[in-house]
């Protein structure tokens, strides 16, 4: 009779790391742990944190092996290289060791679950060197459960070790964090994931194209487990051979080209064609939120290219070329404005009764905003009189306020401050007089350097006030470059200069000689002197 076929194991479980050498992307943590074990400085509690699928639970099991391994001869000590052969290593790997207790805090959140642990830690381990408690998703414990654990966690028996794992370390109380040795497991680099997935595919006897591996690694977002799950799906989808085209269809990456085309239509202002492209994508089953996120990803890649940053790993040559072209075409103001509108559009899509309609409206807003100048350019155009013809009033229109002649503008900065004071804008006048240094005064442009915080809308409010006084549109800018002292400081310096001149007067010096204890309290200058 033929032997029964062994049950299939998914790749994420089949290739779970069994040694620290197989744990990819966490070299810094392994080095620290190796030094601690070698020197006998083993903490009583460890906290492993990181995003999903980077190896937190696997690392906890490896630490349990490292601490309890006794070697093939039964005489071994804690080691960063557990043998994998002794009874303790095998039992821990198979999840059946009586002294290594794993608990899922998501389903055991209460104080009663923790009390069971507190009662059990008093007793020595049955066979292993240490009794080890692995608590996964520890942030899910209730407040009372955490409080019940604190005393035991701070002073556990010598034979007990705690290993905590969490994806949300911010939810773990500080009182717990301070009692543990923390390891932050980082996202795994895409290049390391590509190499790892390629090795797995080779072991499985499956041929996978390099571009397909790159797509899987990018979709995994730093998670080895997620990437192996995608690879598992791709192998089933491809029937033994995995091509880039198959992975692209499986992950919906063929829509990236569609998204790039849509972004081009948006920037060209082609509303009709853009809406037709969106309707086509919707008919093909593309999720509206994914479409908006795709636009954001393309814009983010262009932002990195414009800033001169290194291109994102595993971007195709086509994507890099598109990002470079987009970066050359868009100004910083346009990029920031489009990003904010896409962010708002994504929020609308997530809460709208009809996500497709919300995505459509978001794209229409982008089309109408793409060609608009940024606020700074618009102010320069208005102050230079270069308003568009459509904005010019017709002959029959009611007369509007026009730019005042240049002679009516303040002649200098002190005159501008005085004009604000005369118009009842006392606070603004005081701020300009006492709290800013002048960088440039070229009416109707004013550039100042604040000597103390003035508020986010201060320059806008000042420009509005100046326009109300002078009937001219002003450009008020904040700069961090060298500036003159404030008017208040200038007045103080002038006063000190006059005082010094008075003290140098021969008559005044003679008076101080005659009366050594005298002080100069006040003085007046005769007109003409």
pLDDT at 48: 92
pLDDT at 384: 54
pLDDT at 140: 92
DSSP string computed for 101-113: EEEETTT--SHHH
Rg of the chain, C-alpha, whole Å: 36
| Secondary structure (3-state) at 475 | strand
With b meaning 16 or more CB within 10 Å and e meaning fewer, what string describes 493-517? eeeeeeeeeeeeeeeeeeeeeeeee
- Cα distance between the two ends of the chain: 126
Domains, the chain: 11-184 (3.40.50.300), 190-251 (1.10.8.60), 257-370 (1.20.272.10), 406-478 (3.30.300)
Residue pair 84/94 in contact by the 8 Å Cβ criterion? no
Q: How far is 135 from 164, CA to CA, in rounded Å?
A: 5
Neighbour tally for 234: CB within 10 Å = 23
Q: Which residues of the chain have pLDDT under 50?
A: 1-2, 385-407, 527-529
pLDDT at 386: 45
Q: How far is 173 from 141, CA to CA, in rounded Å?
A: 10
The answer, as to whether pTM is greater than 0.85, is: no
Kindly report the backbone phi and psi dihedral angles of residue 366, in degrees, each rounded to the nearest multiple of 5, phi listed first: -65, -45
pLDDT at 313: 56
Q: How far is 188 from 27, CA to CA, in rounded Å?
A: 11
Residues shown for the chain:
529
pLDDT at 381: 56
Q: How far is 459 from 90, CA to CA, in rounded Å?
A: 70
pLDDT at 424: 85
Residue pair 359/288 in contact by the 8 Å Cβ criterion? yes
pLDDT at 67: 92
Residue 443 has which token pair?
């009416």
């Amino acid at each position: 009779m033929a032997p029964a076929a062994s049950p299939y194991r998914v790749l994420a479980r089949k290739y779970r790391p069994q040694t620290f050498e197989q744990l990819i992307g966490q070299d810094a943590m392994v080095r620290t742990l190796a030094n601690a074990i070698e020197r006998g400085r083993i903490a009583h509690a460890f906290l492993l944190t990181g995003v999903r699928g980077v190896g937190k639970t696997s690392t906890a099991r490896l630490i349990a092996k490292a601490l309890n391994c006794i070697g093939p001869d039964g005489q071994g000590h804690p080691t960063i290289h557990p043998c994998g052969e002794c009874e303790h290593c095998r039992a821990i790997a198979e999840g059946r060791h009586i002294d290594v207790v794993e608990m899922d805090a998501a389903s055991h959140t209460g104080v009663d679950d923790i009390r069971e642990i507190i009662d059990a830690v008093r007793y020595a381990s049955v066979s292993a060197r240490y009794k080890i408690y692995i608590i996964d998703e520890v942030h899910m414990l209730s407040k009372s459960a955490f409080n019940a654990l604190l005393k035991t966690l701070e002073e556990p028996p010598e034979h007990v070790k705690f290993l905590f794992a969490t994806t949300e370390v911010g939810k773990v109380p500080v009182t717990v964090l301070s009692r543990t040795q923390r390891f932050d497991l980082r996202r795994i680099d895409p290049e390391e994931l590509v190499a790892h997935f390629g090795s797995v595919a080779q072991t499985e006897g499956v041929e996978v194209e390099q571009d397909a591996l790159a797509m899987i690694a990018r979709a995994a977002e730093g998670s080895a487990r997620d990437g192996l799950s995608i690879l598992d799906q791709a192998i089933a989808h491809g029937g033994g051979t995995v091509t880039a085209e198959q992975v692209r269809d499986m992950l919906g990456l063929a829509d990236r080209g569609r998204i790039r085309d849509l972004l081009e239509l948006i920037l060209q202002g082609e509303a009709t064609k853009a809406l037709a492209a969106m309707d086509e994508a919707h008919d093909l089953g593309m999720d509206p939120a994914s479409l908006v996120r795709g636009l954001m990803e393309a814009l983010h890649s262009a932002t990195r290219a414009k800033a001169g940053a290194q291109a994102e790993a595993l971007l195709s040559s086509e994507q890099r070329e598109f990002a470079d072209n987009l970066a050359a075409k868009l100004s910083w103001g346009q990029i920031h404005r489009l990003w904010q509108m896409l962010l708002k559009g994504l929020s609308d899509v997530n809460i709208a009764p009809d996500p497709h309609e919300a995505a459509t409206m978001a794209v229409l807003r982008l089309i109408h905003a793409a060609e608009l100048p940024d606020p700074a350019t618009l102010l320069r155009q208005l102050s230079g009189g270069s308003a568009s013809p459509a904005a010019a009033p017709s002959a029959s229109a009611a007369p509007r306020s026009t730019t005042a002649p240049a002679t009516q503008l303040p002649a200098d900065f002190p005159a501008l401050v005085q004009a604000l004071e005369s118009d009842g804008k006392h606070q603004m006048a005081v701020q300009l007089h006492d709290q800013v240094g002048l960088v440039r005064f070229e009416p109707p442009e004013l550039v100042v350097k604040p000597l103390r915080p003035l508020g986010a809308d201060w320059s806008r409010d000042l420009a509005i006030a100046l326009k109300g006084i002078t009937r001219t549109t002003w450009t008020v800018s904040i700069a961090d470059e060298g500036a003159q002292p404030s008017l208040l400081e200038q007045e103080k310096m002038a006063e000190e200069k006059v005082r010094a001149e008075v003290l140098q007067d021969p008559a005044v010096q003679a008076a101080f000689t005659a009366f050594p204890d005298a002080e100069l309290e006040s003085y007046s200058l005769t007109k003409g002197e």
